[in-house]
Amino acid sequence: MTQVACVDIRDRDDAAAIELPALPPKRILSLAGAALIALMAAGCASTSVEQVAVISSPSGPTSFARERLIGRWGIASFHNEKDRKRTEAQAKAQCNLPYVIAKGPTDGVMMHVADDPKLYELKLKGGPAGKTYLGFEAPAGDPQDREILSATDNLLTMRFVDPDALRRYGTFVFVRCAG
């Protein structure tokens, strides 16, 4: 479901939040564009409304179903492509202590996010140019997402979209564990 929330945060006591009914994503973009043009033409784009947030659920198709992610995986990561094959072997060796990706309570999977020991439900999202992302309810390619570079029944590769997380963690290789 798509939601639009407009918040006027001027330094006034009567500032209020307004929730609008759900609208199709194309309609939201059209209205947002028209509003932006009107504000800019009026010369008040930076003085009256300081923040307008458009929150939409991902709408693009993904290249595979979440069931492909569910299971027990050995994980390792690399920073240089030349290390990929060695990293796949290291990931397979981690199957003695597998990372479990479980089905989420709605239509996602339960996984950890960068720098947080808690499990969260993450969802597959189709993005531009046929890319597939995994992350929270936000547009595809959000900084907290992971881009899934490849996915077969037995091997997944993914990397964080956020450049800092990518620099620290590298590209992940998941090898499905037997059994």
Same structural domain, 43 and 126? no
Give domain status of residue 106, yes or no.
yes
Same structural domain, 21 and 99? no
Instruction: At 110, list the tokens.
Output: 């339960």
Q: What gap in Å lies between CA 169 and CA 87, rounded to an integer?
A: 13
Give domain status of residue 29, yes or no.
yes
Which long-range contacts link 155-160 to residues 24+ away (Cβ below 8 Å)?
Answer: 155/88, 156/68, 156/69, 156/73, 158/134, 160/114
Residues 8-36 have a mean pLDDT of 43
Provide the domain limits for residue 70: 66-176
Same structural domain, 84 and 167? yes
pLDDT digits (tens, 9 = 90+) for 133-157: 999 999 999 999 999 999 999 999 9
Sequence-distant (≥ 6) Cβ neighbours of residue 64 within 8 angstroms:
124, 132, 151
pLDDT of residue 56: 42
| 3-state helix vs strand vs coil in the chain, percent to 5 | 25, 35, 35
